[in-house]
């Protein structure tokens, strides 16, 4: 479905977006409910399933349910918590699979292009994320701010957001984060930058995320955790990969900036003293 997104009609893309955003929910909802979610007719939902080779909505739903059963079959069957293992074991197994998926499905050239976009331009690098994505955006700002000039964390709130985005132009860049359930304002901000001709690097959990169509580069985090909320682990992993890529691209320039940051932090007592090493373990 993801591979064929660009070839689908407008209606089919709406249905695909709805399915990719919440495949587990779609696996157990009616065709009418999916049509309402996607903003199309029930007939369009049925045609979508047929065009993908499932014969209609029922076949598509069966495939989604089979995918859920396959993931459950991969859950560890040993552990103190019973046949499925403890919650810790199940969650760890899912996160490990997600990290391996990100590591194998994120080409180095994609990371390099994203890093090059952040390095380019004389304007500001705006870092933005809302709701579930805000914490990962904050961590990205923490890592990248000492590495590159003109990095700013865009705060939420209508007036603060509008004030910060005054005068955005092609020389600026946006590093945005959006994970399900996708915050509408993130899509609006990405569209605003795109309209201004400014590059957008998006970190998200699905190429079908609404903001992805406004992005210059999309970095996708896998998420198969066995819970009703997404994990932030793969998003943090991608942020750290991006920071490492920036340093690898420009070790001298970024190295000097990091040294300057350490001196500034030391001068103003940003961090407390490091604990002394234990003589027995040093």
Which of 79-83, 173-177, 205-209, 270-274 is the most confident on average? 173-177
pLDDT beyond 60 at 279? no
**63 shares its domain with 116:** no
Task: Please state whether the predicted TM-score (pTM) of the whole model is above 0.85.
Answer: no
**124 shares its domain with 221:** yes
pLDDT number for residue 103: 86
pLDDT number for residue 77: 45
Please check whether residue 89 lies inside any domain of the structure.
Answer: no
Cis peptide before 278 (omega within 30 of 0): no
**229 shares its domain with 144:** yes
Strand partners, 128: 176
**189 shares its domain with 250:** yes
Which of 3-12, 174-183, 191-200, 267-276 is the most confident on average? 191-200
Token pair, residue 11, equals 């209606």
**118 shares its domain with 18:** no
Average pLDDT over residues 114-128: 92
Please check whether residue 114 lies inside any domain of the structure.
Answer: yes
* Residue 121: band (very low, low, confident or very high) from pLDDT cuts 50, 70, 90: confident
**181 shares its domain with 59:** no
pLDDT above 70: percentage of residues in the chain: 85
Q: Domain span at residue 153?
A: 107-264
Q: Helix/strand/coil (H, E, C) string of the chain?
A: CCCCHHHCCHHHHHHHHHHHHCHHHHCCCCHHHHHHHHCCCHHHHHHHHHHCCCCCHHHHHHHHHHHHHHHHHCCCCCCCCCCCCCHHHHHHHHHHHHHHHHHHHCCHHHHHHHHHHHHCCCCCEEEEECHHHHHHHHHHHHHHCCCCCCEEECCCCHHHHHHHCCCCCCCCEEEEEECCCCCHHHHHHHHHHHHCCCCEEEEECCCCCHHHHHCCEEEECCCCCCCCCCCCHHHHHHHHHHHHHHHHHCHHHHHHHHHHHHHHHHHCCCCCCCCCCCCCCC
pLDDT digits (tens, 9 = 90+) for 208-234: 788 988 999 999 887 766 566 667 888
**45 shares its domain with 144:** no
**128 shares its domain with 227:** yes
The distance of Cα 265 from the centroid of its chain, to the nearest Å, equals 30
CATH at 206? 3.40.50.10490
Q: Helix/strand/coil (H, E, C) string of 23-34?
A: HHHHCCCCHHHH
Please check whether residue 282 lies inside any domain of the structure.
Answer: no
* Residue 159: band (very low, low, confident or very high) from pLDDT cuts 50, 70, 90: low
pLDDT beyond 70 at 237? yes
pLDDT number for residue 270: 76
Average pLDDT over residues 18-32: 83
Average pLDDT over residues 47-73: 81
pLDDT above 90: percentage of residues in the chain: 38
CATH at 21? 1.10.10.10
Domains: count for the chain = 2
Average pLDDT, the chain: 84
């Amino acid at each position: 479905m993801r591979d064929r997104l660009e070839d689908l009609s407008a209606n089919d893309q709406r249905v695909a977006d709805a399915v990719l955003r919440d495949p587990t929910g779609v696996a157990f909802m009616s065709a009418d409910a999916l049509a309402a979610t996607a903003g199309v007719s029930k007939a369009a939902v049925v045609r979508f399933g047929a065009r993908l080779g499932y014969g209609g909505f029922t076949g598509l739903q069966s495939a989604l349910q089979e995918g859920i059963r396959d993931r459950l079959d991969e859950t560890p069957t040993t552990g103190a918590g019973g046949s499925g293992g403890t919650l810790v074991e199940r969650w760890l197994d899912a996160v490990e699979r997600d990290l391996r998926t990100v590591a194998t499905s994120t080409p180095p050239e994609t990371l390099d292009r994203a890093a090059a976009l952040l390095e380019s331009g004389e304007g500001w690098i705006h870092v933005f994320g809302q709701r579930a994505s805000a914490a990962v955006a904050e961590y990205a700002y923490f890592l990248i701010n000492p590495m590159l000039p003109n990095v700013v964390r865009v705060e939420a709130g209508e007036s603060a957001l509008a004030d910060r985005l005054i005068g955005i132009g092609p020389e600026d860049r946006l590093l945005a984060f959006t994970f399900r359930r996708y915050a509408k304002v993130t899509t609006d901000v990405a569209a605003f930058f795109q309209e201004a001709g400014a590059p957008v690097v998006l970190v998200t959990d699905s190429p079908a995320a609404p903001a992805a169509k406004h992005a210059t580069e999309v970095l996708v985090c896998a998420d198969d955790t066995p819970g009703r909320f997404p994990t932030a682990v793969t998003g943090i992993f991608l942020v750290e990969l991006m920071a490492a890529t920036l340093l690898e691209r420009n070790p001298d320039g970024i190295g000097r900036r990091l040294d300057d940051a350490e001196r500034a932090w030391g001068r103003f007592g940003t961090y407390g003293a490091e604990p002394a090493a234990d003589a027995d373990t040093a």
